[in-house]
Amino acid sequence: MMMRMKVMLVIYLMILPLTLAQLKVGFYSASCPQAESIVKAAVQKRFNTDKSITAALLRMHFHDCFVRGCDASILIDSKGQNQSEKVAGPNLTVRGYELIDEAKKTLESVCPLKVSCADIITLATRDAVGLSGGPSYAVPTGRRDGRVSNVNEVNLPGPSLPVSQAFQTFRNKGMTMDDMVTLLGAHTVGVAHCSFFSGRISGSGDPTMDPALAAKLKGICGAANSSNPDPTAFLDQGTSFTVDNEFFRQITLKRGVMKIDQELANDRSSKRFVSRFASNSALFRTRFAQAMVKMGNIEVLTGTAGEIRQNCRVVNPK
């Protein structure tokens, strides 16, 4: 019995590296050498006219990976009675789909059915981070696309959750507290609608928010009108379009816009990571790159699993 268990363990250890090896840096070097440069060109073109695309892609990548893994299921359109992830509440404000479509169209003209939509999201996000002043890093590729997208499977942590509850979602995906704090550092770019933080600035307000910031946000949200019923505010009040550690410095000064952001600086399980990042830009850059790569490996499909979609919005005909 003991011998059989040892043999099974050896077989498992032999198979595991082979499984991991299916996702690797430069996966398309032979099958589609231009893959990464094509994606980068599409991102650069969009970034030149819309620097907010970085925040959009970061959000898309996160929302994709935390539902069924990084399989581009978030890109699939609803069809008939099959309601996809796109129409779930948290995803209604996800954008950037047309950029993925543009990159995919070019890739299909050069390398038909070679590059997955899941890899396009991952590469595009990496490139946008670099263009916004963030770290440049290599990402392993070789993901394949899922064939299922179900609105009922979308269960993402909300902006008002306490740190402990938000962490449950991250831990279920194999992420540590350090990883979660690092990834929420993506809020160094992007905005939040007033409806996401209105409770913190209404009535007597939230004592954990800097009064000057609260007054500023009240002015922004008070300007709502019929054409803009739910205004937005930058999550990073310092360097709003730059991927850096300023977000962490802001929340140590009680200038977090959303509750979860400010809680990171207040909760004893997360505040030590916030303090380190706030005072060490190089550390944040290193850890952000590592955490993004780790997130991009969540429950990926490789080998013969899934498919390579021809159109990122539609699964291939059987």
Q: Which residues are catalytic?
A: 63
Q: Where are the alpha helices (DSSP H) in 255-306?
A: 259-266, 271-279, 281-295
CA 159 to chain centre: 15
> In terms of Cα–Cα distance, which of 297, 288, 302 is closest to 128?
288
Whole-angstrom distance between the N-terminal and C-terminal Cα of the chain?
44
Inter-residue contact 122 to 143 (CB < 8 Å): yes
The Cα–Cα gap between 26 and 23 comes to 9
Residue with tokens 């509440």: 89
Residue with tokens 């928010």: 209
> In terms of Cα–Cα distance, which of 266, 232, 262, 241 is closest to 250?
262
Tokens of 184: 């929420």
Kindly write down the DSSP assignment for every residue of 94-113, as one continuous string. Answer: ---HHHHHHHHHHHHHHSTT
- Angle, in degrees to the nearest 10, between helices 53-65 and 35-47: 130
Inter-residue contact 117 to 306 (CB < 8 Å): no
Inter-residue contact 61 to 53 (CB < 8 Å): no
Residues 6+ apart with CB under 8 A from 106: 38, 41, 42
Tokens of 124: 């595009």
